[in-house]
Structure 1
Amino acid sequence: MTGRRDGPLMRSGGSSHSFGKSRIAAAIAVGIAIGCVFTFLLPVGLFSVAGPPLQNRRLVNSQGESSSSSCESSEQMNKLKSENVAFSQKNAELKKEVRELMEKLKLAEQGKDEAQKQVLALGKQQKAGPFGTVKGSRTNPTVVPDESVNPRLAKILEKVAVNRELIVALANSNVKDLLEVWFTNIKRVGILNYLVVALDEDMAKFCESNSVPVYKRDPDEGVDSVGRTGGSRPVSGLKFRILREFLQLGYSVLLSDIDIVFLQNPFDHLYRDSDVESMTDGHDNRTAYGFDDVFDEPGMDWTRDGHTNRVSVYNCGFFYIRPTIPSIELLDRVAARLSQETAWDQAVFNEELFFPSHNGHEGLHAAKRTMDFYLFMNSKVLYRTVIKDAFLRKMKPVIVHVNYHHDKLLRMKAVVEYYVNGKEDALKPFPNRADS
């Protein structure tokens, strides 16, 4: 048998094969070593993007616990607390800014309202016309009704008022006899739009029992005590506060004291061209409508004649007032002064209405009209002039206000006898003296 014998070539090929295997094994070993190194140094992966920076990564100790977790938790809590404080401060600043903005917005809205009222009052700008043709505005615009002021009163006025106007009187249970004459003649004339503001419960029941429209105000201790127990002057001062609500609700009011006899419907004789239209305490053309009063001062030589403008006061027991800004300002001014001063309401009413702006005083910019003193007659005119004049005795006034005399009930009944029942001598027993 012949045996196989490898030659030099075969020996050479075997050696090369062994060397290739060793290189592969070495490469694998190197790869594993490199992998271990990267695994140790980069535990979250070579290509991780979202992971935290190296210095913030946790290194696990031999017990498998985090060596920096407590430190990181403390730092995070402190950071959250500081952020919370910063957010609270920022929130407080924002709230303050919001409040300031709301105040500015409120002021801006008020300014806008005033501007709109001025525009309505003044109208668009225009050129002056030819001589003798120019006329200024006589009537201020009415306010926008605000029923939120007194919803209950608003519902009553919707039923009682005619053309958004009505007669209003204040009364407590001390004046039932006068009030009965008052509303009896209102009914006789046929007036439907009138209302009694009852200042106590007894008066409210009295009006209801006589089918008289009545409004009993909600309890208000500081004010209602005056209404229940006060005399004529405190009650008279109270009316300015109460009237304000009627005007805010958008109604024109013919305010009436209860010592008044109605002989005609007064709404047929109003002009409605002013903020306030009032009867006068004057007794003739000069005192009622104004005149140039001249007094003599000899020490002034050739300038000894001093001229003054005079007019008798308006009677705040009977006046028509429209729901305008100047009218409401008048009521506010009078009510404020009467709450702070010991003063007569009629004097304060006239001072606020007539006194011009001067020094530190800003005059009221309200339009006013004086009623015809023969139609809206005070008792001085009746007893001083009318009953002595045959022509004037035949005229029938709209109302007679027994304001100059104390025996009011007797004189009111006499006025009814004279003008309604035709009893010609009904007024003769009464003297003109105010103390009678």
Structure 2
Amino acid sequence: MARGDGPALNPGREAVAAVWRIESARIVGALARYTGDFALAEDLAQEALAEALVSWPRDGVPRNPAGWLLTTGRRRAIDAFRRRSARDERYAALAHGLAEGGVVTGAADPVEVTDDVLWDPDQIDDDVLALMFTACHPVLSPEAQVALTLRVVGGLTSDEIAKAFLVPTATVQARITRAKKTLGAARVPFALPPADERRTRLGSVLSVVYLIFTEGSSASSGDDLIRLDLAAEAQRLARVLARLVPAEPEVHGLLALLELTAARFPARTGPDGEPVLLEDQDRRRWDRSAIARGRAALVRAGQVGTGLGAYGVQAAIAECHAVAASVADTDWDRVVVLYEALGRLAPSPVVELNRAVAVSMAQGPAAALVIVDGLADDALAGSHLLPTVRGELLRRLGRTDDARTELQRAVSLCANARERTVLEGKLAELG
């Protein structure tokens, strides 16, 4: 309910949507710190949101909208604490502190219950960062981490997450519910991890943001090649992380990668949403501001670290494309070297496949085909990527019949309608 699906929102509901979009992570984080209960905090925030959707259109937007939501969430917490007080002395003490003195005590620093809440910037940063670490805790599956992050950090509704990933809303709701239960059962505290664990856990957070962006930039299924809202949400999360942990080079590397990749979005699709291949893109349509932001983030990644990590190397590859006037002018030798480095940092069949594409541009299709043929089919089973690349290499080598077989296989495996149309076009060109 954070954002409506139709155009007829009144000003009160529009204000709810806007404030929730900006402040939801801070509100959930603050409630989690005050209550010491992550699952309860998320429920309280949703209850406050529901109350705002009724109250603000009727009574007007409060002077401090975010403070109103936080205060409402705390007052809901009083009710929850009172209901539990017979069973748990701790909750009884919290409820007493809120009800009698107007402050929360015991679970967190005292905070006055008022809609004129003053946000402490340092505490907000800690709350939001702790929220991201909690939502991306390794006890959760990747699917649950993504759903929970988009819900509690991104402020997206279950419907919006379901639409983004083309799964039923009930599936998303079940993932979120199971995730909260898992965190509770594992007694995961709402807190920043100890310093010695933080860098390892940060990898999970970065991975989730990257997964969200990847699905947005190249949709795995459905009718749209790019899901701009999902990709933009990942970019926003990466910017938040860069502000919260500015000394971590891979945070800046990831942000650089996302900015440089998103810069090409305006030219990646035609008027009807059809894909436009890299060699056919009008590079004048690339977002130069995004390229500048991405290059600046890449410089920052090099400054704060002793060398680029996997995300930083991918960003460096994206920069090679961003600064080239055309495909022919791209420094393909450097791209090959960067993919070789990436293969050592984060080896995977997809990295090898991309290296093969770069080799085909730098050294020709024959050299690339040797690499592709060395990839085991089972490593990319179910993916259309391997037969797509192999089919293109075979076409360039003049092996038309073999190329047709590979592209037919790629068509049968491709779940995205737009990409499938491109592959069918390639097949048609072979005759």
Q: Aligning the two structures, in what range does the TM-score lie when normalised by the shorter sequence?
A: under 0.3
Greater strand share, 1 or 2? 1
Greater helix share, 1 or 2? 2
Which has more radius of gyration?
Answer: 1
When normalised by structure 1's length, the TM-score is 0.25
When normalised by structure 2's length, the TM-score is 0.25
